[in-house]
Structure 1
Amino acid sequence: MKLKSIKLLAALLLGSSLTYAQTTIAISASSNTSSPVISKYIYSHFAEHLGRGIYDGFYVGDTSKIPNTNGVRNDIIAALKKMKIPSLRWPGGCFADTYHWKDGIGPKDKRPAIVNKWWGNAIEDNSFGTHDFLNMCELLGAEPYLAGNVGSGTVQELADWVQYVGSDNKNPMSDLRKANGREKPWDVKFWGVGNEAWGCGGNMTPEYYVNEFRKYSTFMTGSGKIFRVASGASDDDYHWTETLMKGIPQSLIEGIAVHHYAVNWAKKTSATNYTEAEYFTTMKSALLMDTLVTHHAAIMDKYDPKKKIALVVDEWGGWYDVEPGTNPGFLYQQNTMRDAMIAGVTLNIFNNHADRVRMANLAQCVNVLQAVILTDKQKMILTPTYHVLEMYNVHQDATLLPLTIKSDDYAFGSEKLPAVSASASRDKNGVVHISLVNIDPNHPHNLSLKLDGEKFKGLTGRILASAKVQDHNTFDQPDKIKPEVFKSASIKDGNISIALPATSVVVLTLN
């Protein structure tokens, strides 16, 4: 379908007795647009050896009564495939820089155990290793993203891992892989060269890490083209990004990471029992992602104006107090509509920066931090965050429709945040999708969308909402929050009217 000019304007419709915040949304695109494609890898995930993320999460062992395939839960595989998970990062996180991959291959009863010093001093028996993870990715239909050990490993160790998983030529590492039961390589594309080198990955300076990266990257050669991601900045450490962009030749690097969590480090809140003040603070931190991405991208533009190097936000999400009675080092927290708000606005930010952000990994997938899945023995629940990711998967590999938003505020005390977030795309079949988030817990927003230059034959929508922002799914009420058909949108004479409820996520489909 030929892409025609679209202009989408949204203005407030005043209620009969209440005045709501006025929101104006404008979307424009044309047949000669240079708009980027929203990479599906923006919707990637993260699985660290942390708490119950791997063991008692993904992996229950092949003797478990819970239905599994080679020890990996079938219900988790089915749920993540429905969500269209494109890539999964492993084995860390901080754990990656203490992980020696050869400990996790060969007969399971011969694998050495170690102490997981970062996460609760739990015993790691290495029963879930390279083969287990990469075979699980094949079950998921997801590409693996391996994080290499730079902090306590060696260049040879990482170079051997690249050969082990990716080489089809006869060499010691491919021979070892075949001896361990895998004839053909997995041909892993995505590789992290260390993790958080400024912190748990070695407390390095950026100048020191640049030389380490250059050395490791030089020896990372497999059978195919690999995508090497440098350990990037924490939050607004723009000097780190500048140093990497200045010091690493483009022939050695494909991506630079950045990490940002929506968290109040001074005083973490309860995951479920929080006040509106605490909610507002969390959303302010989540929306900071737009500023961070904008500034890091601007630095990258100075050295890479053709945008060859990707910005990879490979850790993001909400971070709260652990659930009462659980190991503090396991980072197990519940997931409420607040997390749905974080997911919705953050993914909109990434979509709208698709020219530079080409991968992002929510932290984390199962039972850790802002998880999309929680388990309790044989039980499994999908969180509000899961449902946002599943609703938003219509944007994967679709063309961004450039978007400007003028939103009135969600005000709390003397502070204000934009109430409405949005992003839009057109898929390969010409279908337009618009994702909308109203973070205001007190007021709905009535939108009137006028479309010029193109007629749509129909409109459908899905909504995720609940009575209170603290609402969440539990093992007793697993479906308290789930997507429903959105009936508060209609087309008449080319105009779309939308009643966007408080603290809601809506995805519209325009055919």
Structure 2
Amino acid sequence: MKQPFNYLRTGVLGLLMAATGVQAQNKVTLRTDAAAPTINRNIYGHFAEHLGNCIYGGFYVGDTSHIPNTNGVRNDIIAALRKLKVPNLRWPGGCFADTYHWKDGVGPKDKRPTLVNTWWGGVTEDNSFGTHDFLNLCEELGAEPYLAGNVGSGTVQELADWVQYVNFPGKSPMSDLRQANGRKDPWKVKFWGVGNEAWGCGGNMKPEYYSDIYRKYATFMSGPLFKIASGANSSDYNWTEVLMKNIPTNMVNGLALHHYSVIEWNHKGDAVNFTEEQYFQTMTSACFMDTLIRKHSAIMDKYDREKKVALVVDEWGGWYDVQPGTNPGFLFQQNTMRDAMIAGVTLNIFNNHADRVRMANLAQAINVLQAVILTKGDQIILTPTYHVMEMYNVHQDATQIPLEIQSNDYTSGKGKLPAVTASASKDKAGLTHISLVNIDPKKAQEITVSTQDAYKSVSGRILSSKMQDHNSFTQPDLVKPQAFSGAAIKDKTLTVKLPPCSVVVLELK
């Protein structure tokens, strides 16, 4: 089947408009007459692992804290995440999930056993944040919970009991325990991960072995659940092939995929003090997401032509060296305009593959990897990634508009990439939104957008700054969205001038 979205490069790289520094025009064509899927809101999901200060010191400060909170969860974080319209939140891991025993995190907090987080920093946790705390947090956010089950060190019975504990409305041992712990009505959790990274920290399994393990666990998870298998590590296409071949589509609803934008795993580079060459390498890794989705989707199509099984990219984002002076197991890193570029490019890719990608989770929400929020005492800051996620939430549950794009190249000594990426959608109110990203940190880009519909007006917002710029606790608003005036529309043609290193979301009426 012909893909509605493709990149075409022009051969006019060197033609610059001397006065403005704008390259020869890029072209985007919107195909509003083409049949297209809905962009599932769950593409904009987030991830909260027991890792560093994501949960403790991030989300959760305890109900005795002087920081305003609701049942121990910070009110300022709840408000910020509500503005993002977080559709789903994944918990408790990550690698942590396959060492987590959920019964240790329910009941009176002063009677819960402690655990040692052997994966992340070797710290001792008191289990004060558990199932009730997480699911009540999701209710506060209006987000669907996504629970990652312990397959690596757990048992089938343990996971089956967890499902019953949170979902069963009648009388049973687990629903009785839930009520004894203070919750009468079930939470009705739909999304369940059957293990995490089974190829690595989830058990170092082979795909043939995990396929059978998955089938066994899934069999005993009762109810109308959305079951997600532990999928491939980036370009391990054989893993996808084996799982799709060995697991019937009536037993699985989603297949996970993990891919991080990394320069080199052993030399990730600094989160702030990076060179343009390192920036280019990071963006190359981010753009590779499009290739990954195409190739994994092609394998899935062989066994699932009706696309019943979703591709769930439940870990993605930038990964750099930890901030100097912090616990290396806490994965704390600053968040710059480079991360905004990763977010914009990746979300455009997801939007354009909405037929197969129907869920994703940025790693991670607070204080870890490509976080949307950083905390320090009673302060929080919103990162450039936060602002991109907020600008893009107009695409949630909107109808994708297929597009074709012809982009100039962004070149480096390491090669070349399309400078411009884009995605578009039309919401239920009839508004069209176009997301445009210029990853070139030095050159502006002029874009011509051709539409089949006539629009009367265009407005928008922009996030633009130098690639190393970031928000700090001394300058919390250095990078934030502004009104955008660089777009004009005439008849069925839209012209847009994108500054270097920028993300723009336009609204057409």
TM-score of the superposed pair, with normalisation by structure 1? 0.95
Which amino acid in structure 1 is aligned with residue 41 of structure 2? K
TM superposition shift of 1:415: 0.6
The residue number in structure 1 matching 2:143 is 142
TM superposition shift of 1:414: 5.2
Is the Cα contact below 8 Å between 1:473 and 1:480 reproduced in 2?
Answer: yes
Q: Kindly tell me: are residues 406 and 130 of structure 1, through their superposed partners in 2, closer, same or farther at Cα, counting changes over 3 Å? A: same
Is the Cα contact below 8 Å between 2:314 and 2:362 reproduced in 1?
Answer: yes
SS at match of 2:27: strand
The residue number in structure 1 matching 2:89 is 88
My pick for the range that moved more, 376-385 or 440-449, is 440-449
1:217 aligns with 2:218: yes
Structure 1 unaligned residues grouped into runs of 5+: 1-8
Which amino acid in structure 2 is aligned with residue 108 of structure 1? K
CA distance in 1, matches of 2:75, 2:410: 42
TM superposition shift of 1:29: 2.1
Residues 250-287 of structure 1: CA distance to partner in whole angstroms, max 9, x if unpaired? 22110000100001213111000000010000000000
TM superposition shift of 1:494: 4.0
The residue number in structure 2 matching 1:6 is none
The residue number in structure 1 matching 2:486 is 488
CA distance in 1, matches of 2:106, 2:145: 17
Residues 174-233 of structure 1: CA distance to partner in whole angstroms, max 9, x if unpaired? 0000000000000000000000000000000000000000000000014xx100000000
TM superposition shift of 1:492: 3.1
SS at match of 2:366: coil
CA distance in 1, matches of 2:79, 2:46: 15
My pick for the range that moved more, 493-502 or 293-302, is 493-502
Which amino acid in structure 2 is aligned with residue 235 of structure 1? S
Residues 119-144 of structure 1: CA distance to partner in whole angstroms, max 9, x if unpaired? 01011110000000000000000000
The residue number in structure 2 matching 1:478 is 476
The residue number in structure 2 matching 1:456 is 455
TM superposition shift of 1:481: 0.5
Q: Kindly tell me: are residues 19 and 90 of structure 1, through their superposed partners in 2, closer, same or farther at Cα, counting changes over 3 Å? A: closer
CA distance in 1, matches of 2:461, 2:9: 19
1:409 aligns with 2:406: no
The residue number in structure 1 matching 2:260 is 261
Is the Cα contact below 8 Å between 2:16 and 2:24 reproduced in 1?
Answer: no
SS at match of 1:250: coil
1:251 aligns with 2:254: no
- Equivalent residues in 2 for 1:142-161, closer than 5 Å: 142-161=143-162
TM superposition shift of 1:15: 2.6
TM superposition shift of 1:21: 4.8
CA distance in 1, matches of 2:256, 2:394: 25
Is the Cα contact below 8 Å between 1:10 and 1:25 reproduced in 2?
Answer: no
TM-score of the superposed pair, with normalisation by structure 2? 0.96
Residues 382-421 of structure 1: CA distance to partner in whole angstroms, max 9, x if unpaired? 0000000000000000000001112120000251011000
CA distance in 1, matches of 2:388, 2:124: 34
The residue number in structure 1 matching 2:237 is 238
Is the Cα contact below 8 Å between 1:116 and 1:123 reproduced in 2?
Answer: yes
Structure 2 unaligned residues grouped into runs of 5+: 1-7
TM superposition shift of 1:14: 6.1
Is the Cα contact below 8 Å between 2:17 and 2:24 reproduced in 1?
Answer: no
TM superposition shift of 1:493: 4.1
Residues 470-507 of structure 1: CA distance to partner in whole angstroms, max 9, x if unpaired? 00000111000100000111223443221100000000
TM superposition shift of 1:249: 1.3
Residues 282-325 of structure 1: CA distance to partner in whole angstroms, max 9, x if unpaired? 00000000000100000000000000000000000000011111
- Equivalent residues in 2 for 1:72-471, closer than 5 Å: 72-222=73-223, 225-263=224-262, 264-413=264-413, 415-452=415-452, 454-466=453-465, 468-471=466-469
CA distance in 2, matches of 1:74, 1:317: 26
Q: Kindly tell me: are residues 132 and 455 of structure 1, through their superposed partners in 2, closer, same or farther at Cα, counting changes over 3 Å? A: same
Equivalent residue for 1:28, pick from 31, 51, 59: 31
Is the Cα contact below 8 Å between 1:445 and 1:501 reproduced in 2?
Answer: yes
SS at match of 1:82: helix
CA distance in 2, matches of 1:201, 1:258: 14
Is the Cα contact below 8 Å between 1:61 and 1:72 reproduced in 2?
Answer: yes
My pick for the range that moved more, 346-355 or 408-417, is 408-417
Which amino acid in structure 2 is aligned with residue 240 of structure 1? W
SS at match of 2:451: strand
Which amino acid in structure 2 is aligned with residue 479 of structure 1? D
Which amino acid in structure 2 is aligned with residue 465 of structure 1? S
Which amino acid in structure 2 is aligned with residue 503 of structure 1? C
Is the Cα contact below 8 Å between 1:14 and 1:446 reproduced in 2?
Answer: no
SS at match of 2:416: strand
CA distance in 2, matches of 1:448, 1:346: 22
Q: Kindly tell me: are residues 384 and 291 of structure 1, through their superposed partners in 2, closer, same or farther at Cα, counting changes over 3 Å? A: same
Identity of aligned residues (%): 68
CA distance in 2, matches of 1:93, 1:21: 44
SS at match of 1:177: helix
Residues 429-476 of structure 1: CA distance to partner in whole angstroms, max 9, x if unpaired? 111000000000010001233434x2212110100011x100000011
Is the Cα contact below 8 Å between 2:25 and 2:448 reproduced in 1?
Answer: no
CA distance in 2, matches of 1:21, 1:156: 62
Is the Cα contact below 8 Å between 2:28 and 2:448 reproduced in 1?
Answer: no
CA distance in 1, matches of 2:363, 2:70: 24
My pick for the range that moved more, 9-18 or 49-58, is 9-18
My pick for the range that moved more, 155-164 or 493-502, is 493-502
Which amino acid in structure 2 is aligned with residue 284 of structure 1? T
CA distance in 2, matches of 1:419, 1:451: 21
My pick for the range that moved more, 441-450 or 362-371, is 441-450
CA distance in 2, matches of 1:49, 1:450: 47
